[in-house]
């Protein structure tokens, strides 16, 4: 089977950069999608050679050419970005939502309420039905992802709107060395995964570390 073409939207951002780099290291055809393709091209030229994407592109063309679109843009902008670009998705595209709706309420980091239930369902609601949606890469620490020499050594939780979506997202996670995919079921489970991200960040702050992440014991 040919390798899928993976567009990482927001691929020069906090979580997106390391994800694009690790997927490129895995040998996948990676396109970094950005609002400004020229600026993205300048950014990725600074990356270590083996971590550079195949190319950079504006959102619309990155989406149009992709088999898998990874959403690594901030949660706050993902809705409007999808509404502006929904016509560009091929019907069979798998969208992998990486966003987490973090917010600070009364000085305490928490998850923002999302009317649809989770960020992944927020994404699902803004895409044409034939496009498939899964959630993954929500808990692996950005700093660790973006440091290609350090082992990831953790599990990544995957959920999705169909068994096929989950299967494809599981394969994508498995392509990244050091990540074990854990299928946790239907798309609304994304909310639980987003809570895990919150816990990881809380643990980082409280225990003065930067790469708290999870492993499942017993499987």
Contact 53, 31 (CB under 8 A): yes
Indicate the residue among 98 and 200 with the shorter CB distance to its own copies: 200
Calculate the dihedral angle through the C-alpha atoms of 109, 114, 118, 123, rounding to the nearest 10 degrees: -120
Encoded one letter per residue, x for contact with its own copies by CB under 8 A and - for no contact, window 106-145 reads --x-xx-----------------------------x--x-
Indicate the residue among 82 and 135 with the shorter CB distance to its own copies: 135
CB atoms within 10 A of CB 211: 18
Is 163 a binding residue for its own copies by CB under 8 A? The answer is no
CA angle 5, 135, 176 (to 5 degrees): 55
Is 104 a binding residue for its own copies by CB under 8 A? The answer is no
Is 76 a binding residue for its own copies by CB under 8 A? The answer is no
Encoded one letter per residue, x for contact with its own copies by CB under 8 A and - for no contact, window 166-185 reads ----------------xxxx
**Residues touching its own copies, count (CB under 8 A):** 38
Is 154 a binding residue for its own copies by CB under 8 A? The answer is yes
Is 67 a binding residue for its own copies by CB under 8 A? The answer is no
Is 11 a binding residue for its own copies by CB under 8 A? The answer is no
Closest-CA residue to 190 (of 94, 123, 107, 90): 123
- For residue 37, give both structure tokens: 């393709």
Rounded CA separation 21/53 (Å): 7
Contact 21, 51 (CB under 8 A): yes
Is 60 a binding residue for its own copies by CB under 8 A? The answer is no
Contact 166, 193 (CB under 8 A): no
In the window 182-201, what residues touch its own copies (CB under 8 A)? 182-186, 188-189, 191-193, 195-196, 198-200
Contact 138, 196 (CB under 8 A): yes
Is 219 a binding residue for its own copies by CB under 8 A? The answer is yes
Contacts to its own copies by CB under 8 A: 108, 110-111, 141, 144, 153-154, 157, 182-186, 188-189, 191-193, 195-196, 198-200, 202-203, 206-207, 209-219
């Amino acid at each position: 089977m040919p390798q899928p073409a993976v567009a990482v939207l927001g691929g020069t951002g906090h979580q997106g950069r390391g994800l694009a780099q690790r997927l490129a290291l895995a040998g996948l055809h990676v396109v970094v999608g950005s609002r400004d393709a020229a600026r993205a091209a300048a950014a990725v030229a600074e990356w270590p050679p083996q971590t550079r994407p195949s190319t950079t592109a504006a959102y619309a063309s990155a989406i149009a050419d992709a088999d898998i679109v990874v959403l690594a843009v901030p949660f706050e902008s993902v809705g409007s970005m999808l509404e502006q670009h929904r016509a560009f998705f091929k019907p069979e595209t798998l969208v992998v939502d990486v966003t987490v709706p973090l917010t600070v309420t009364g000085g305490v980091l928490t998850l923002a309420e999302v009317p649809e239930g989770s960020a992944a369902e927020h994404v699902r609601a803004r895409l044409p039905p034939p496009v498939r949606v899964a959630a993954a890469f929500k808990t692996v620490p950005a700093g660790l992802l973006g440091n290609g020499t350090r082992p990831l050594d953790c599990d990544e939780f995957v959920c999705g709107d169909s068994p096929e979506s989950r299967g494809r997202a599981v394969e994508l996670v498995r392509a990244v060395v050091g990540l074990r995919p854990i299928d946790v079921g239907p798309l609304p489970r994304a909310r639980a995964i987003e809570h895990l991200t919150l816990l990881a960040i809380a643990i980082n702050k409280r225990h003065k570390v930067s790469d708290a992440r999870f492993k499942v014991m017993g499987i």
